């Protein structure tokens, strides 16, 4: 009797689980269909333009610039892009966003901290107080891990994780960041929202689309407070805030309202004191992290995940041509946290007149930001129409939608860019080169597809021996040029 009841209960539980799972699957499929329909309406691209920041917000020790998120191509990719320029001894105050981000260090160096909820303060020191009574009352400094950052670093930031950055160098620190507002981790709207924990954030920080309308309506209600927005502590009841932190109400008032407008990048009067390992210890830690990644990445816990990877180091290049340039990438394989963020990035460097092979992005949009020099980029849509064919320069960006074909050629001595990809394992498929689509096609397929001779089909298939980066004046280019010259001579003789 007991066995029969247990069997009936088990069957009922399995049936209930199956029905629930089926309902969840239907909801997920419905959401995916809605998302696909939204993407289809947003990506009817007829023309692309090189974009520059539209809003510039000055703080005490730096500048923040935002690209217009309502631009058609940024709406297509469902991303927001902004840039921080932090002066020496400038501190980007702690904040968190509603979407995962990738931050690229364009210039300079500094230190970065991210606070993961529920994780311990692993950087600790003993109390240095002289008095025994003071030592018993005060504990030594302790905080979560801080990381040195430098030019070429890509920093991964999950949604909702508070983070800060300090410029401890002598030159300015420039950071360009992409927020993936279309990511499933963002449960709000499609606009970037910044939640600032300190400083006195300007109203314009919340400045795009729906967020902008909301900020303006709130500002009109505040009347005279107008142009200054507040950090997230400002609206709490003063007494409740004091009780929550176990502080007096005078200090609570100072947290809620600053005496002067400093913005979100504030100046540190003296050196910022944080616990940080010496350089030798940092190098040892880096080697340990690299060995851990090389094993399988499973040893990394949520609290100890690696957040940065340098793609400016030539020794890490995935593709290298001494006369042409190099390409490096960071993705879910060499930075495992990107499996959760579903983002990746590539750094490209081309020498003058070198070409990055024509290709398309198989499973991601590509947001290309120029970090140095200038070059020509051509982008072609599914209709075989050119949607972008311009010289693009340092500080500009352009979006290459998924599957649109693109080619880059350097116009300056060095043409450098970083491409943010909306997939943790983004892939490209080349049109030309040794690993291209045409190289893998049968000769007769090429011959009949283009109505050309078998000899021309073989030339199209095999004339380019380089892989991804085509150096200027390569043998295949010289051969092609000489063939064109001979053809022109034959045509001139026929005319005469």
State the Cα–Cα distance between residues 212 and 397, nearest whole angstrom. Answer: 23
Q: How far is CA 472 from the centre of its chain?
A: 30
State the Cα–Cα distance between residues 464 and 449, nearest whole angstrom. Answer: 20
- Look at residue 258 in the predicted model and tell me its pLDDT: 72
Give the number of other CB atoms < 10 A from CB of residue 408.
Answer: 25
Q: What are phi and psi of 130, to 5 degrees?
A: -75, -40
- Look at residue 286 in the predicted model and tell me its pLDDT: 47
State the Cα–Cα distance between residues 431 and 78, nearest whole angstrom. Answer: 27
Q: Point out which residues pair with 415 in neighbouring strands.
A: 350
For residues 433-460, b (16+ Cβ closer than 10 Å) or e, as one string?
A: beebebbeeeeeebbeeeeeeeeebebb
DSSP-derived letter for residue 54 is: -
Query: Do 104 and 90 touch, CB atoms closer than 8 A?
Result: no
- Look at residue 361 in the predicted model and tell me its pLDDT: 97
Q: What are phi and psi of 325, to 5 degrees?
A: 140, -155
> Can you give the pTM of this predicted structure?
0.80
- Number of H helices and E strands in the chain, helices first, is 12, 27
CA triple 235-241-243, angle to 5 deg: 160
- For the chain, the C-alpha Rg in angstroms (whole number) is 27
Under 8 Å CB-to-CB from 382, ≥6 apart: which residues? 403, 404
Q: Point out which residues pair with 81 in neighbouring strands.
A: 178
- Helix/strand/coil for 58: strand
What tokens appear for 142 in the block? 């302790």
Question: Nearest 10 degrees: CA dihedral of 435, 436, 439, 442?
Answer: 130
Query: Do 349 and 317 touch, CB atoms closer than 8 A?
Result: no
The CA–CA distances, whole Å, from 378 to 382, 407, 447, 469 equal 14, 5, 26, 16
CA triple 281-113-119, angle to 5 deg: 90
Query: Do 105 and 307 touch, CB atoms closer than 8 A?
Result: no
DSSP-derived letter for residue 278 is: -
State the Cα–Cα distance between residues 271 and 165, nearest whole angstrom. Answer: 14
Give the number of other CB atoms < 10 A from CB of residue 232.
Answer: 13
- Residue-range domains of the chain with CATH: 39-121+143-208+228-276+300-310 (2.60.120.10), 313-431+466-481 (2.60.120.10)
Q: Which of 354, 345, 353 is nearest to 326 (CA)?
A: 354
DSSP-derived letter for residue 46 is: S
Q: Which of 410, 394, 391 is nearest to 351 (CA)?
A: 410
| Beta strand residue intervals within 189-299, DSSP E | 194-196, 265-267
Give the number of other CB atoms < 10 A from CB of residue 319.
Answer: 18
Note down pLDDT in tens along the chain; length 496 residues: 455 554 554 555 444 444 444 443 443 344 444 344 344 447 888 899 999 999 999 999 999 999 999 999 999 999 999 999 999 999 999 999 999 999 999 999 999 999 988 886 666 565 554 444 444 445 566 767 888 999 999 999 999 999 999 999 999 999 999 999 999 999 998 899 999 988 878 777 765 554 444 444 444 444 434 455 678 888 888 889 899 988 888 888 888 877 778 899 999 988 776 766 654 454 445 445 555 444 444 345 677 789 999 999 999 999 999 999 999 999 999 999 999 999 999 999 999 999 999 999 999 999 999 999 999 999 999 999 999 999 999 999 999 999 999 999 999 899 999 999 999 999 999 999 999 999 999 999 999 999 999 999 999 999 888 999 999 975 444 454 555 555 566 556 555 5
DSSP string, 76-102: HHT-EEEEEEE-TTEEEEEEEESS-EE
């Amino acid at each position: 009797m007991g066995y029969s009841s247990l069997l009936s209960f088990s069957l009922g539980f399995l049936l209930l689980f199956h029905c629930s799972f089926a309902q969840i699957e239907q909801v997920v499929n419905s959401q995916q269909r809605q998302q696909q329909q939204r993407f289809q309406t947003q990506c009817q691209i007829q023309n692309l333009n090189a974009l520059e920041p539209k809003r510039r917000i000055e703080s005490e020790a730096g500048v923040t610039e935002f690209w217009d998120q309502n631009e058609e191509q940024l709406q297509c990719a469902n991303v927001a892009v902004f840039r921080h320029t932090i002066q020496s001894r400038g501190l980007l105050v702690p904040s968190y966003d509603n979407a995962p981000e990738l931050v690229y260090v364009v210039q300079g160096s500094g230190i970065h901290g991210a606070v993961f909820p529920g994780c311990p303060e692993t950087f600790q020191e003993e109390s240095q107080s002289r008095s025994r009574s003071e030592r018993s009352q005060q504990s030594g400094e302790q905080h979560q891990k801080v990381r040195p950052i430098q030019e070429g670093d890509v920093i991964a930031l999950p949604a909702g994780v508070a983070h800060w950055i300090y410029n401890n160098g002598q030159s300015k620190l420039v950071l360009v960041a992409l927020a993936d507002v279309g990511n499933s981790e963002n449960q709000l709207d499609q606009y970037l929202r910044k939640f600032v924990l300190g400083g006195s954030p300007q109203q314009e920080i919340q400045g795009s689309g729906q967020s902008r309308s909301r900020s303006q309506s709130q500002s009109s209600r505040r009347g005279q407070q107008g142009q200054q927005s507040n950090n997230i502590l400002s609206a709490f009841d003063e007494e409740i805030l004091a009780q929550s932190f176990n502080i007096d109400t005078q200090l609570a008032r100072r947290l809620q309202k600053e005496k002067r407008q400093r913005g979100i990048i504030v100046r540190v009067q003296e050196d910022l004191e944080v616990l940080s390992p010496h350089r030798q210890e940092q190098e040892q830690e880096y080697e340990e992290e690299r060995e851990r990644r090389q094993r399988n990445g499973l040893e990394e816990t949520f609290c100890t995940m690696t957040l940065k990877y340098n793609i400016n180091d030539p020794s890490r290049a995935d593709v290298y041509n001494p006369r042409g340039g190099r390409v490096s990438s960071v993705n879910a394989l060499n930075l495992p946290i990107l499996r959760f963020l579903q983002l990746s990035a590539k750094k490209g460097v081309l020498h003058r007149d070198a070409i990055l092979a024509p290709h398309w992005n198989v499973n991601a949009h590509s947001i290309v930001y120029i970090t140095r020099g200038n070059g020509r980029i051509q982008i072609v849509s599914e209709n075989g129409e050119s949607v972008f064919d311009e010289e693009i320069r340092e500080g500009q960006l352009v979006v290459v939608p998924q599957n649109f074909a693109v080619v880059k050629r350097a116009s300056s001595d060095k043409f450098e860019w970083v491409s943010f990809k909306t997939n943790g394992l983004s892939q490209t498929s080349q049109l030309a080169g040794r690993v291209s689509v045409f190289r893998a096609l049968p000769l007769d397929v090429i011959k009949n597809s283009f109505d050309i001779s078998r000899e021309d089909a073989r030339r199209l298939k095999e004339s380019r021996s380089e892989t991804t980066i085509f150096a200027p004046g390569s043998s295949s280019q010289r051969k092609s040029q000489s063939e064109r010259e001979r053809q022109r001579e034959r045509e001139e003789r026929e005319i005469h």
